[in-house]
Amino acid sequence: MLAAQFIKTDDGQLYKKTAQGVLLRCIDKSTSEKVMEEVHDGECGPHMNAHMLAHKIMRLGYYWTTMKADCRKYVRHCHNCQIFANVQHVPPLMLYTMTSPWPFSTWGIDIIGKKLKIKHHKSSPYRPQTNGAVKAANKTVATILRKMTDNYREWPEKIPFALWRYMTSIRIATEATPYYLV
């Protein structure tokens, strides 16, 4: 049954056939390490998590049987990913109601699923509901820049690469890249 997913061509190259009919080239361990390195932290690699790294590699047309485990191991050993990871160092606690003093009376709370965001409600008059999305995108691009550069002087020359990385990374909600959606 598993063998039905694989195809061997006349020249001896092995391919895995996906459910959508796409052929992914099967590669060996040394080639897979090079591919992971280039996709994860190469010139246009956004230092994504292991799940996104495996998806991006498959979108590029490569496959090997231990891909997900290898991607997980690679990301766990990436120095920049460990330094700039968004880690919660505080255990969750019970929430208590409290009144806010006058200067904070214009603040609001947005609850989206299990996420809680507190923001100030001074928005632009044109499209105030998009300010949160813009802030989130800017935060992501800034994180990518931090992972790519050693100091702030390198940021201007790395911005186009960071934006390319951001636009070609798959989003979980849409299962597509922003570049593809546009």
- pLDDT > 70 fraction of the chain, expressed in percent and rounded: 73
Which CATH number belongs to the domain containing residue 167 in this structure?
Answer: 1.10.340.70
What is the number of domains present in the chain? 1
Q: Is residue 167 part of a domain?
A: yes
CA distance 97 to 100: 10
Half-sphere exposure of 167 toward its Cβ, with a 13 Å CA cutoff?
A: 10
Indicate the helix (H) or strand (E) that contains 139. Answer: helix 131-148
How confident is residue 105, by pLDDT bands cut at 50, 70 and 90?
low
Q: Is residue 159 part of a domain?
A: yes
Pairing of strands 62-63, 107-112: unpaired
Q: Is residue 117 part of a domain?
A: no
Q: Is residue 27 part of a domain?
A: yes
pLDDT for res 118: 47
How confident is residue 130, by pLDDT bands cut at 50, 70 and 90?
low
Residue 76 has a CB neighbour count (10 Å cut-off) of 10
